[in-house]
Amino acid sequence: MNEFLTLNVSASGMTAQRLRIDVISSNIANSESTRTEQGTPYRRRVPIFSEYLMGMGRVKSSGVKVTRIEEDPSPFRLVYDPTHPDANEDGYVSMPNVNVLREMVDLISAQRSYDANVAAFNVTKAMISSALQIGRG
């Protein structure tokens, strides 16, 4: 059992949550983008978290990793705006399937999870420091 591995596990959690915050930011930033390189409106992106095993020894620890960033297949939001250049013949514009409120809630959740990983990291660090103090009077 390696206590420095514990620090890496917490770090993997922080990395994953930070990437999640990046994805949420790009969703919010593109919540009105009607054109992308694929020619469609922007599709909401979702990071897929998965457990992955860390460590060299017999006992492995589960870290976390974002394995893929997938696109939300739900339909686009239709907004009636005949003056918009991207409006179809009926006057409707396909807007990205991003719900800004939902993204904000996700953002707070990601931030809290990040904080939880930081708390875990700090406790591990305090434990290692107190072990280093043994025998120093």
Partner 1 sequence: MFNANFQIIKTAMDVAMLRQNVHAQNVANAETPGYKRKYVVFEELLQESLKLQLSNTNKSHIQRVQQPVQPQVKQEEAFFYKNDESGVDIDFEISQMTANGLRYEVLSRLMSKNIEFYNIVLRSV
Q: Kindly tell me which of 59 and 78 has the beta carbon lying closer to partner 1.
A: 59
Judging by beta carbons within 10 Å of its beta carbon (0-12, 13-18, 19+), is residue 87 exposed, middle or buried? middle
Nearest distance from C-beta of residue 96 to partner 1, angstroms: 23
Nearest distance from C-beta of residue 67 to partner 1, angstroms: 10
Q: Please give the torsion angle defined by the CA atoms of residues 62, 66, 72 and 73, in that order, rounded to the nearest 10 degrees.
A: -80
Nearest distance from C-beta of residue 24 to partner 1, angstroms: 13
Q: What are phi and psi of 124, to 5 degrees?
A: -60, -40
Q: Kindly tell me which of 49 and 92 has the beta carbon lying closer to partner 1.
A: 49
Q: Kindly tell me which of 99 and 113 has the beta carbon lying closer to partner 1.
A: 113
CA angle (64, 67, 26) in 5-degree steps: 100
Residue whose token pair is 């993997």: 12
Nearest distance from C-beta of residue 110 to partner 1, angstroms: 8
HSE-CB of 41 using CA atoms within 13 angstroms: 26
- By the criterion CB under 8 A, which residues form the site for partner 1? 1, 3, 5-6, 9-10, 12-13, 16, 49-51, 59, 61-64, 109, 112-113, 116-117, 119-121, 123-124, 126-127, 130-131, 133-137
Report the C-alpha gap between 81 and 85 in whole angstroms: 9
Q: Kindly tell me which of 33 and 111 has the beta carbon lying closer to partner 1.
A: 111
- The pair of structure tokens assigned to 136 is 């120093």
